Amino acid sequence: MHHFTYRDGVLNAEELPLDRIAEEYGTPTYVYSKATLERHVNALDSAFDEIEHLTCFSVKANSSGAILKLFGEMGIGADIVSGGELFRCLRAGIPAEKIVYSGVGKSADEIRYALDSGILCFNVESHSELLVIDRIAGEIGVQAPVAFRINPNVDPKTHPYISTGLSKNKFGIPHEEALDLYREAMSSANIDVMGIDMHIGSQLTDVKPYREAAERLRDLIVSIRNIGVNLRHVDIGGGLGIRYDAEEPPAPSAWAEMVIPVFKDLGIRLVVEPGRSIVGNAGVLLTRALYVKHNGPKTFVVVDAGMNDLSRPTLYGSHHDILPVDETSAGTVEVDVVGPICESGDFLAKDRAMPLPKEGDLLAVMSAGAYGMTMASNYNSRPRGAEVMVSGDTAKLITTRETFEDLVGREI
């Protein structure tokens, strides 16, 4: 669900026409709906009210400072995968004690920064990482809070690039090695073993893999407690899908109803890490048609947003609906919507049936709130676009458009 709808023939973000945003802030621009963000946070968080829990937004999905600040004010935490994301969260006012640190490649400097900041927990992904955390915690003179990310070897039935719970993926610790690692960690004076973690993949549209993985994790929790480790939380990750095209993703309540019964009688706190399901449909990429080009039987609509602005179609072959800002009753034609990048892989849609835009028309690339700006680049020396937050009939610029000077500002 989202607050992007047509009013009087013009696509609006909440109560504000998108053409007015383009007129004031230019294109390409990411536009977010505050009401949608709030509704999705409340839906995800309230779904788990039956059990003690902490919702930690997955910052890699969207790291805009204004969005993180909003989430912090709403009382949720954050799931991070880098020192930069930690910096962003702390700067936005999210308390360190509500931050979990995931990721396979934490550097020594990042680990030290997180320990100094007092984060809730590291999700440890390897024995080697545990040794580094142990050493740094000893040097600082603190106990490092850790959970081990266990790879349950469950097929999440999603795109292979965003599958993370199979044994062939780089993430997590093999299920059969977990007990030995917990024993080792428990013997260290520098380690506080507080939890267990899993994350099986992203853009999941079936909750059954969650249940299978959760049941495997529950059995492991019982075994770990039997060797004397007092696990206080279980982190079940995130990955709940959204509708881009014809998918029928489960509601947050269905996810919660699938996993809460598995853990409820263990007297353990549940940590969840939703990302895409909160921000994905809360944002659009606003772009303008530059040219309409005919190459034999092919028709190309060349727009001013490219794969550097939204890489998902190029990277994953992902579908994003593309809607005209000014609604039209004209018939549809089959087109490729492409950007200005010098790559044949630079496209936002291929063989898409849609009303043929005129040069200068505005288009809204839907479901662009997750993995949009966070994955944007300066390829072809293109400045990254602006970000705008809409609340009611008011727009606020939350990230300025980069300039040419910004492109070279770090060069010596």
Give catalytic residues, as residue numbers.
Answer: 342
The residues, any chain, with a CB within 8 Å of residue 6's CB and separated by 6 or more, are 12, 327
Q: Within 13 A of 411's CA, how many CA atoms are on the CB side?
A: 5
Q: Is the dihedral of CA 208, 213, 217, 219 positive or negative?
A: positive
Tokens of 93: 């006012």
| Number of Cβ atoms within 10 Å of the Cβ of 375 | 16
DSSP state of 103: -
In the numeric block, which tokens belong to residue 311?
């890489």
Q: Are 348 and 335 in contact (CB under 8 A)?
A: no
User: C-alpha 330: how far from its chain's center?
Assistant: 36
Of the chain, the end-to-end C-alpha distance in Å amounts to 47
In contact, 315 and 350? CB cutoff 8 Å: no
H or E element in which residue 80 lies: strand 77-80
Q: What is the C-alpha to C-alpha distance for residues 310 and 29, in angstroms, rounded to an integer?
A: 11
C-alpha–C-alpha distance, residues 123 and 199, integer Å: 10
CA 322 vs CA 284, 336, 387: distances in Å: 9, 11, 18
Geometric angle at alpha carbon 210, from 247 and 94, rounded to 5°: 90
Buried b (16+ CB within 10 A) or exposed e, 153-162: bbebebeeeb
Provide the CA 3 distance to its chain's centre, in angstroms.
Answer: 19
